[in-house]
């Protein structure tokens, strides 16, 4: 079972490709990684980002897919509309099933993208994806709709152009899941902690890992939510071996 992360590099290894690869390994799948950008950041502060040329991102993808059979991928920080368009093109070319973490702002409050790329996500990438996993702030950017309540999250989920889970870290732990137009919720206890860096990365990569292990989409989401919850509670994703 081989999966792929297309994302940026976080040198602190709490988010981005390094975090994705650790999650893939913990759940028991082999992870490959396509680098879209280098960043200087840590769990508490974001410094800068330097994107990789789109042509080199394409060559990375082609080199891996030339040798490995990959069905499920996740995307993280894509940095620019040009990179989003490229990744969307490669998804169609290789018939990949993509889970999109629409990364725009780091947990440490740094802007991770060159510009507002929500329109590019909506136009190019989400229509070619099986799921997107925005947090509240990202869902607001994707839908141009303010989310303050459970009802707002329901309305926003209907405006997103593919299956989605709007994560509930900023909505009292209430995760809003919309699969094929059917909306359900899963509420999780909020844990008071500073160990939140990279939680979105770990959620999307865990979903991909569970999908690769032949779980249905709804089951993969539930298992991934539990995986992330345990990671937050234990304070270390790197040593968390999934038993779900």
Domain residue spans in the chain?
Answer: 2-234
The residue that leads in pLDDT, 237 or 79, is: 79
What is the average pLDDT value for the chain, to the nearest integer? Answer: 88
Segment 13-18 mean pLDDT: 90
| Residue 130 main-chain phi, psi, to 5 deg | -95, -15
**pLDDT for 109:** 44
Render the burial of 107-124: b for 16+ CB within 10 Å, e for the rest. bbeeebbeeebbebbbeb
Name the token pair of 55.
């042509």
Residues 6+ apart with CB under 8 A from 226: 244
**pLDDT for 146:** 95
Residue 117 CA to residue 122 CA, distance in Å, equals: 9
Residues 6+ apart with CB under 8 A from 189: 173
- Of the listed ranges 37-41, 69-73, 92-96, the least confidently predicted one is 37-41
pLDDT band at 241 (very low <50, low <70, confident <90, very high): very low
Segment 15-25 mean pLDDT: 94
Tokens 């490669």, located at residue: 90
Residue 226 CA to residue 244 CA, distance in Å, equals: 8
| pLDDT tens track for 108-154 | 444 545 457 899 999 999 999 999 999 999 999 999 999 999 999 99
| pLDDT tens track for 191-221 | 665 555 667 789 999 999 999 999 999 999 9
**pLDDT for 129:** 98
| Residue 56 main-chain phi, psi, to 5 deg | -80, -30
Q: Are 183 and 160 in contact (CB under 8 A)?
A: no
Half-sphere exposure of 239 (CA within 13 A, CB side): 4
Which residues lie across from 38 on neighbouring strands?
9, 50
Taking the CA atoms of the chain, what radius of gyration do you get in angstroms? 16
**pLDDT for 236:** 57
| pLDDT tens track for 164-192 | 999 987 788 899 999 999 999 998 776 66
CATH: 3.40.50.450, 3.30.70.1230, 3.40.1190.20, 3.40.50.2300. Which one for 2-234?
A: 3.40.1190.20
Q: Is the pLDDT of residue 240 over 90?
A: no
Name the token pair of 125.
């990438």
């Amino acid at each position: 079972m081989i999966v792929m992360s297309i994302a940026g590099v976080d040198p602190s290894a709490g988010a981005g490709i390094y975090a994705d690869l650790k999650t893939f390994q913990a759940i028991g799948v082999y992870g490959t990684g396509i680098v879209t950008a280098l960043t200087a950041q840590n769990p508490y502060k974001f410094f800068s980002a330097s994107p990789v040329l789109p042509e080199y991102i394409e060559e990375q993808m082609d080199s891996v897919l030339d040798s490995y059979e990959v069905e499920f991928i996740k995307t993280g920080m894509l940095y620019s509309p040009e990179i989003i368009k490229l990744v969307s093109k490669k998804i169609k070319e290789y018939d990949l099933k993509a889970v999109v973490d629409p990364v725009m702002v780091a947990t440490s409050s740094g802007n991770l993208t060159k510009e507002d790329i929500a329109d590019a996500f909506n136009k190019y990438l989400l229509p070619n994806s099986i799921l997107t996993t925005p947090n509240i702030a990202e869902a607001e950017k994707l839908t141009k709709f303010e989310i303050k309540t459970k009802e707002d999250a329901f309305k926003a989920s209907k405006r997103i152009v593919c299956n989605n889970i709007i994560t509930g870290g900023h909505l009292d732990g209430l995760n809003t899941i919309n699969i094929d137009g059917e909306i359900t919720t899963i509420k999780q206890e909020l844990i008071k902690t500073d160990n939140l860096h990279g939680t979105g990365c770990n959620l999307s990569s865990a979903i991909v890992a569970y999908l690769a292990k032949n779980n249905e989409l709804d089951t993969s989401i539930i298992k991934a939510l539990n995986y992330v919850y345990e990671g937050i509670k234990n304070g270390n994703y790197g040593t968390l071996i999934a038993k779900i």
